[in-house]
Amino acid sequence: MKKILIALLFVISLTSFSTMVNLPIKSIEVVNNQQVPASLIKNTLKLKEGTKFSTEALLADFNALKETGYFEDVILQPTSYNGGVRIVVDVVEKENVVDLLKEKGVAINTLREDTDKSIVISSVKFIGNKRVTTSELLDITQLKAGEYFSRSRVEDAQRRLLATGKFSEVKPDAQVANGKMALSFEVVENPIVKSIVITGNHAIPTSTIMSALTTKPGSVQNYNNLREDRDKILGLYQAQGYTLVNITDMSTDENGTLRISIVEGIVRKIEVKKMVTKQKGNRRTPNDDVLKTKDYVIDREIEIQPGKIFNVKEYDATVDNLMRLGIFKNVKYEARSIPGDPEGIDLILLIDEDRTAELQGGVAYGSETGLMGTLSLKDSNWRGKNQEFGFTFEKSNKDYTGFALDFYDPWIKDTDRVSWGWGAYKTSYGDEDSELFHEIDTVGFRVNIGKGLWKDFRLSIGTKVEYIKEKHQDGRLRQANNGKWYYKDSKNKWHEIEGVDDKYWLWSIYPYISYDTRNNYLNPTSGLYGKFQIEVGHAGGYKAGNFGNVTLELRAYHKGLFKKNTFAYKVVGGVASNSTKESQKFWVGGGNSLRGYDGGFFKGSQKLVATIENRTKINDTLQLVAFFDIGNAWQNESRDPRTGKKIYKPNRKDAHDFKDLKKGYGVGVRLNTPIGPLRFDYGWPMDPEKKGEKKDKGKFYFSFGQSF
């Protein structure tokens, strides 16, 4: 962007040169060309000395010089001079310009040797210098009497004098007689800047710009200083995010007034169009640039306001907002000038929509889930309203079955960041470590509503109703004719036990507050996430009563060791009331919490889990992961059918020591698919699951999405 701004510095606003039209061109000077011959540059121009000046020819010459491919920057500066126009051609050559010139057979300045040993320079004089001494000029030209004449060295001397920025014109002249040359340079010193007038600046005060300028009232105009001042002004704007600012005029008039004209780039209107890549052989249709997403979904994420100066910080925030929705692949912009409105621009947002509706099925194996089959139909941009709607069905050969139907609207139309959603679900899973709760079936329905307090904070409240059936392990307990259940102790005596095959309704309400600055919800690479939740409710069945829990979750993401590397961190802690039913307590272990251990092996009314992952993106499909997990669950009060007494399983009654935390590490693979990343992890335990036992072998896990 900066290069474009520099290149167009003096040619965009051609209206500022209207007073020079049809005036004769008195001189054309080339400055700062180190390798490209001045003759080549002048020959490229349509404008010649003696012809009439026109803004059209000036623009054509600018384009012609850029098209040569030799220059990074070209500035054409016309000024009024002696009843005509003087044009200074200021160029910045490309680093590889020598190679480019050699390819086209052009001799570079430093190699042009045309020394004529028949002519000796007898004297070097300067005409017109008042403020710059003759000795200074001789040092600049590097010419002296007694040397052989060289045309290239004289041209180089002229170029050196112009490059000082102190002269508006340098004309060499030579008088030859009897093999001797009297060489002279007629110079026109730049005028003194008597005053500076800045127009068009609204975002930055005139005093701030004036204090940054090298050129001051009373100083001699210097083109090098003007170039530096131009960059300083643009730098002031760019530091504040104003990247479409342009300086259309920076010249000193006949009265010694330096006029600096600034165009800041005010956004007049914003259009949103679909980013279209035309495929070869396909014809464009009128609907090619029409988005599926509704306009209001996009408009509410745009932080750029018409009538204000374009600010790249607001644009970047807009891109972040849109990409966080998870329904777009890319966002770009175009700024178009408006005929007759030099200060205004029309901003075009080009958006590349992602595929959001997919039907997917798959089969995978994990040591935790066994052989798992999945069928999923989801749309994260349902009806173009950024609403999420879909269902998922999962079944494994390890007594797990899950079905879920979900809907979520993150921002209800015509509201102030109000969201709502609902879900219906049914799950059936087994707990091999429990005799009383060997199989647990749950059917439930939940609904929630939220309000964005501001951009990144949201306050929500949800409620759920569930019907739960708990079934004992066959063969371990017996039911008598009177309907009561009994267990056999170690001495083969039978004892009554209550609460077997419990069936009950559960209701709860859970308000929570969340903070989210992640750049992407599915696969973040930067940002923070935090959630604090309180849940209270009532559960029926055996020993019916009220229960409650509090959980806190914190996540962080940042760029890692190199560009496509990301570090991700998560800490989750929770405390539940002692009245919480065993099937509703915290479970730790498995692919979603503590890898390397059996799923849900550690249970209790208190938990703490922390994870760090390093994620490396190989390409758009494949991502490699290394991870370290640490955590445990404590205070798991249960009933042992073998004794009928309360137990703390597994040995977690009073353990809150960090030495008791279990640790695991491993590697994983993420495969990006239309329904989101597929996750494959292998984790090794660093500690035995129970004291006194040997460490278990590693375990393989399969799931959808990132672990967090």
pLDDT, the chain, mean:
85
Q: How many CA atoms lie within 13 A of 247 on its CB side?
A: 27
Looking at mean pLDDT, say which of 53-62, 72-81, 407-416 comes out highest: 407-416
Contacts of 612-615 spanning 24+ positions with Cβ under 8 A: 612/567, 612/568, 612/569, 613/567, 613/568, 613/569, 613/707, 614/560, 614/565, 614/566, 614/567, 614/568, 615/560, 615/565, 615/566, 615/567, 615/568, 615/670
- Asked if 332 and 350 touch (Cβ cutoff 8 Å), the reply is yes
Nearest-angstrom CA–CA distance, 191 and 166:
9
The pairing of strands 25-31 and 84-93 is parallel
CA angle 461/464/469 to nearest 5° reads: 155
- Asked if 113 and 150 touch (Cβ cutoff 8 Å), the reply is yes
- Confidence at 261, pLDDT banded by 50, 70, 90: very high
- The two structure tokens encoding residue 440: 């647990």
Q: What is the pLDDT of residue 278?
A: 56
Interval 501-516 mean pLDDT:
95
Q: What is the pLDDT of residue 364?
A: 66
Q: What is the pLDDT of residue 653?
A: 44
Q: What is the pLDDT of residue 277?
A: 65
Q: What is the pLDDT of residue 111?
A: 52
- Measured in degrees and rounded to the nearest 5, phi and psi for residue 699 equal -130, 150
pTM: 0.69
- Confidence at 262, pLDDT banded by 50, 70, 90: very high
Q: Which residue has the higher pLDDT, 506 or 706?
A: 506
- The two structure tokens encoding residue 227: 């170039």
Question: Among residues 244, 240, 202, which one has the least CA distance to residue 335?
Answer: 244
Q: Which of 451-455, 584-588, 700-704 has the lowest mean pLDDT?
A: 700-704
Is the pLDDT at 648 greater than 60, yes or no? no
- Measured in degrees and rounded to the nearest 5, phi and psi for residue 572 equal -130, 130
Q: Which residue has the higher pLDDT, 57 or 298?
A: 298
**Share of residues in the chain with pLDDT > 70 (%):** 88
- Confidence at 706, pLDDT banded by 50, 70, 90: confident
Q: Which of 20-29, 102-111, 375-384, 624-633 has the lowest mean pLDDT?
A: 102-111
Question: Among residues 175, 190, 186, which one has the least CA distance to residue 220?
Answer: 190
- Confidence at 132, pLDDT banded by 50, 70, 90: very high
Nearest-angstrom CA–CA distance, 392 and 424:
11
Is the pLDDT at 75 greater than 70, yes or no? yes
Q: What is the pLDDT of residue 454?
A: 85
Q: What is the pLDDT of residue 698?
A: 87
- Asked if 618 and 677 touch (Cβ cutoff 8 Å), the reply is no
Q: What is the pLDDT of residue 197?
A: 96
Q: What is the pLDDT of residue 14?
A: 43
Q: What is the pLDDT of residue 159?
A: 86
- Asked if 501 and 484 touch (Cβ cutoff 8 Å), the reply is no
Q: What is the pLDDT of residue 474?
A: 77
Interval 131-147 mean pLDDT:
91
Is the pLDDT at 362 greater than 80, yes or no? no
Q: What is the pLDDT of residue 678?
A: 81
In this predicted model, what pLDDT tens digit does every residue of 160-172 receive, in sequence order? Answer: 898 888 898 899 9
Interval 25-54 mean pLDDT:
87
The number of helix segments (H) and strand segments (E) in the chain equals: 10, 36
Interval 585-595 mean pLDDT:
88
**Share of residues in the chain with pLDDT > 90 (%):** 47
Q: What is the pLDDT of residue 304?
A: 95
- What CA dihedral angle connects 141, 143, 149 and 152, to 10 degrees? -30
Is the pLDDT at 433 greater than 80, yes or no? no
Q: What is the pLDDT of residue 10?
A: 40
Backbone φ/ψ region at 49: left (φ over 0), alpha (ψ -120 to 50), beta: beta
Is the pLDDT at 350 greater than 70, yes or no? yes
Q: Which residue has the higher pLDDT, 488 or 468?
A: 468
Is the pLDDT at 600 greater than 90, yes or no? no
Q: What is the pLDDT of residue 341?
A: 92
- Confidence at 614, pLDDT banded by 50, 70, 90: very high
Q: What is the pLDDT of residue 625?
A: 96
Q: What is the pLDDT of residue 86?
A: 85
- Confidence at 649, pLDDT banded by 50, 70, 90: very low
Interval 349-353 mean pLDDT:
93
- Confidence at 71, pLDDT banded by 50, 70, 90: very high
- The two structure tokens encoding residue 685: 């335990």
Backbone φ/ψ region at 300: left (φ over 0), alpha (ψ -120 to 50), beta: alpha
- The two structure tokens encoding residue 538: 């009532």
Q: Which of 68-77, 251-260, 635-644 has the lowest mean pLDDT?
A: 635-644
Question: Dihedral sign, CA of 426, 428, 429, 431?
Answer: positive
- Confidence at 651, pLDDT banded by 50, 70, 90: very low
Q: What is the pLDDT of residue 290?
A: 83
Strand, coil or helix: 105: coil
In this predicted model, what pLDDT tens digit does every residue of 279-320 receive, in sequence order? Answer: 444 555 556 678 999 999 999 999 999 999 999 999 999 999
* Distances in whole angstroms, Cα of residue 513 to Cα of each of 460, 553, 608: 6, 11, 20
Q: What is the pLDDT of residue 209?
A: 96
Q: What is the pLDDT of residue 211?
A: 95
DSSP of 146-186, one letter per residue? TSEEEHHHHHHHHHHHHHTT-EEEEEEEEEEETTEEEEEEE
Interval 132-159 mean pLDDT:
90
Q: Which of 36-45, 206-215, 504-513 has the lowest mean pLDDT?
A: 36-45
Interval 74-98 mean pLDDT:
84
Q: Which residue has the higher pLDDT, 23 or 445?
A: 445
In this predicted model, what pLDDT tens digit does every residue of 363-413 receive, in sequence order? Answer: 766 666 677 788 888 898 999 999 999 999 988 887 789 999 999 999 999
